[in-house]
Amino acid sequence: MRSGNSLPRSLLIALLVLAALLPLVARSNQYALVLFTTVLLYGVLATAWNIIGGLAGQLDLAAGAYLGLGAFTVGTLLIRWNISPWLGMILGGLIAVGFALLIGYPLFRFGIREVWYALSSSALVEVLRVAFLIWNQVGGPMERYLPYHEWSLYHLRFATYMPFYYIMLGMLVLALVVNHRVRHSRLGYYLMALGENEDAAEVLGVNTQACKLQALALYAFLVGTAGGVYACMYGFIHPNFFSGPLSTEVAILGIVGGMGITYGPVMAAILLVSTREFLRANLGGQLESFYLVVYSVVLILIALFRPQGIATFVRGAYDRLLSRMVKE
Amino acid sequence: MTDTLIQNLLNGALTGCIYALIALGLSLIFGVMNVVNFAHGDLVMVSMYLTFWIGLGTGIDAAITPLLTFPLLFLIGLLVYYAIIDRTLRQRYVTQIAVTVGLMTFLRALAQLIWKAQPRALPYSLIQGSIQIGSYTILASRLVSAAVSVLVIFGISLFLSRTWAGRAIRAASDDLDAASLHGVDFRQTYALAFGLGSALTAIAGGLLMTFQQVDPTMGVRFGLLSWCVLAMAGLGSIPGLLISGVIVGAAEAMGMSLWDPRARSLVIYLLFILVLWLRPRGLFGRK
């Protein structure tokens, strides 16, 4: 399940070129651009999740917490002190890391695992949401709008979604590279070992606590920076960015994509998020939230009948194709 | 100031008895088959809507509808068990969570589809009036709800200790292999525990509807709330569940009156995280 995990380089480059050309198809169709960028955003989040969830086997449900922290850092710095989101993104990522370590240290120190880890991380999102709702100086119940600019690279504000697509694509590539590098490093092997069996890994001399904290920090940084871009793309910040449904959805994408498989979560994001948006666009008009009914049934079916993840489908097909080509 | 605080604490403690009832259902499911059910809170929400529907359609009072919804939720529980949960028993726990999170989304979206997003409440309840104790007022509906919850919890504890089926559930929870050797059919026992755990939300839903409104997103709150009660109580202690429920209810009320009405969930989650950090086995747990 977690082995043999490399697509040929030529295929990767072809996919990247295809992704880079995609906005040219959409041209000025802003809806399509938002859709593509959203898919990429979920791809980034789920790929980052794959480090803590897929490799280390910790079911983290706090993606919304780090996304919100990143978004609020970028938003607050830009609105109050006119500090560029480029710097804000890095700071937001670091704040997310700081927060993750602050929370992660006691969690791992007291040996909180499995379902209790999942639940306490999901509680965290709600705690932050309410805290920012009450904290009127930074959050509060009203949206805070980022300054409007027709085209400003310094403010990371554009009248079109096109630049955000490319920024998000860049972040996805970064997340995938980090994921790939971690997976084939000492840390990655430790993480996979403790993901399979934590006690056994510890007995073999893996410092599980430190490994998990490192994985958590990488994940929080990627999600935090993505949160910064998210804020600039939508042009406002609101405590609802600390979203429980988003957090669980990120984890679900990671799980149904194929835990620990580098490109699995991206594949799940492309397939499922676009399915969801397609359903929303086509069914949402007549029947509000009917798309979610269909979507959740699809999720349940995939989780039931393809528990190793949809990435294994593709690999199976790819292997068959390869062996057929070899035979001929 | 202290008067309102005590008043709120009383209300919170009474509501906490219902929380304990919800957590008892979760404890049956998690304790027996070790299945992490994220959809439990949403079953409470569905029960509340069913109560609302029956109340609106037939005029049957919310306090009595559990007689109808209890078997209905039991059947839903069985259906969920055989259609979904049973297939994931041999899977990793993340798959189970993915499936129950899917179920949670499904129930919420369905509720939104059928009943729309606005909150709904029943116009009146059979249980009217209030009781004065000194300067404090207690709504009769809250008092009756708490009393019924305690009675049901007591009844379930009798069922678990006195009947063969109940003992089978406890045996399966302690040691599945030993229980199987003594003729306990584990799938039937699991199905029974899941059905019963879900059916308990029907009673809680009916009781809550006597003094509360319902909206499609409230499942999350009940879900995490019942996990909080369960974490505090630990597994296997029914009196512990009741005490933890009351503590959680009182803490919630205190947060609302002393801090900020929006802080109610904040208090619960902070409590939950603290309990997990300091007492991972719960205050009363035995395993």
pLDDT at A44 over 80: yes
Report the interhelical angle of A30-49 vs A274-283 (nearest 10°): 140
pLDDT of A204 over the 70 cut: yes
Give residue-wise pLDDT tens across range B76-89: 999 999 998 888 88
Mutate which of B80, B84, B105 to test chain A, going by most A C-beta atoms within 10 A?
Answer: B105
Q: Classify residue B285: in a domain, yes or no.
A: no
Structural domain of residue B71, as residue ranges?
A: 2-116+128-278
Contact B276 A296 (CB under 8 A): no
Q: Is A84 exposed, middle or buried (0-12, 13-18, 19+ CB in 10 A)?
A: middle
Quick one: pLDDT at residue B199?
94
Q: Locate tokens 């804000």: which residue?
A: A88
Confirm if B26 and B193 have CB atoms less than 8 A apart: no
Say if strands A236-237 and A157-158 run parallel, antiparallel, or are unpaired.
unpaired
Question: What is the pLDDT, as a whole number, of residue A288?
Answer: 64
Q: Does B286 touch chain A (CB under 8 A)?
A: no
Is B77 within the bounds of a domain? yes
Q: Does B217 touch chain A (CB under 8 A)?
A: no
B244 in any annotated domain: yes
pLDDT at B285: 65
Torsion, Cα of B225, B226, B228, B230 (10° steps): 170
State pLDDT tens for residues A157-191.
777 888 888 999 999 999 999 999 998 898 888 88
> In this predicted complex, what is the ipTM?
0.82
Count of domains forming chain A? 1
Enumerate residues 6+ apart whose C-beta is below 8 A from B39: B80, B100, B101, B103, B104, B107, B219, B223
Residue B145 sits in a domain whose CATH number is 1.10.3470
| Two tokens, residue A90 | 């890095």
Model confidence pLDDT, tens digit, residues B201-254: 999 998 888 888 888 888 888 888 898 898 888 877 888 899 999 999 999 888
Least confident of A227-231, A284-288, B88-92, B220-224: A284-288
Q: How far from A31 is each of A27, A28, A237, CA to CA, in Å?
A: 10, 9, 21
Q: Is the pLDDT of residue A4 over 50?
A: no
Q: Which residue of B has its CA nearest to A247?
A: B101
Q: Please count the CA atoms within 13 angstroms of the CA of B263 that sit on its side-chain side.
A: 15
Residue of B nearest to A127 (CA): B266
Give the H/E segment covering residue B15.
helix B2-33
State mean pLDDT over A306-318. Answer: 78
Question: How do residues B124-180 score in pLDDT, each as one tens digit?
Answer: 666 677 777 777 888 888 888 888 999 999 999 899 888 888 888 888 877 777 877
Q: Are B165 and B184 in contact (CB under 8 A)?
A: no
Q: Which long-range contacts (CB under 8 A, 24 or more apart) does A15-20 make?
A: A16/A173, A19/A169, A20/A166, A20/A169
DSSP character for B214? B
Residue B89 tokens read as 């028993």
pLDDT at A284: 63
Q: Is the confidence at residue B71, as pLDDT, over 50?
A: yes
Contacts of B276 in chain A (CB under 8 A): 107, 110, 112, 116, 119-120
What's the mean pLDDT in B25-29?
A: 90
Distance from CA of A197 to the nearest CA of B (A): 12
Between vectors from CA A40 to CA A299 and to CA B39, what angle results, nearest 5°? 25
- Predicted confidence at residue A262, as pLDDT, reads 84
How remote is the C-alpha of A197 from its chain's centroid?
25
State the pLDDT at residue A287.
65
In three-state secondary structure terms, B38 is: coil
Domain assignment of residue A2, yes or no? no
A131 occurs within a structural domain? yes
Q: What are B276's two structure tokens?
A: 């997990």
| Host domain of residue A145 | 9-327
Which of A99, A113, A126, A196 should be substituted to probe chain B, the one whose Cβ sees the most B Cβ atoms within 10 Å? A126
- Is B284 part of any domain? no
**Out of A1-15, A43-57, B71-85, least confident range:** A1-15
Set of chain A residues whose Cβ sits within 8 Å of the Cβ of B93: 59, 114-115
Q: Please give, rounded to a whole number of angstroms, the shortest distance from the CA of B117 to a CA of chain A.
A: 10
In a domain, B122, yes or no: no
- Report the number of distinct structural domains present in chain B: 1
- A4 inside domain: no
Asked if the structure places residue A1 within a domain, the reply is no
A contact set with B (CB within 8 A) = 53, 57, 59, 106-107, 110-112, 114-116, 118-120, 122-124, 126-127, 130-131, 133-134, 244-245, 248, 251-252, 255-256, 259, 287-290, 292-293, 295-297, 299-300, 303-304, 307
Cα–Cα separations (whole angstroms), residue B103 to A11, A103, A263: 37, 29, 26
- How far out from the chain centre does Cα A228 lie? 13
In a domain, A292, yes or no: yes
Q: Which residue has the higher pLDDT, A313 or B206?
A: B206
Interface test with A, best of B27, B92, B235, B252 (most A CBs within 10 A): B92
Q: Do A127 and B269 touch (CB under 8 A)?
A: yes
Using CB atoms, pick whichever of A57, A126, A134 lies closest to residue B260.
Answer: A134
Q: What is the pLDDT of residue B58?
A: 83
Contacts of B84 in chain A (CB under 8 A): 300, 304
pLDDT tens, residue by residue, A25-38:
777 788 888 888 99
- B110 reaches A (C-beta below 8 A): yes
Distance CA A58, CA A104 (A): 11
Contact across the interface for B265 and A126, Cβ inside 8 Å: yes
pLDDT value, residue A3: 41
Is B177 within the bounds of a domain? Answer: yes
Q: Report helix, strand or coil for B125.
A: coil
Does residue A155 lie in a domain region?
yes
Higher pLDDT among residues A317 and B41, named by residue:
B41
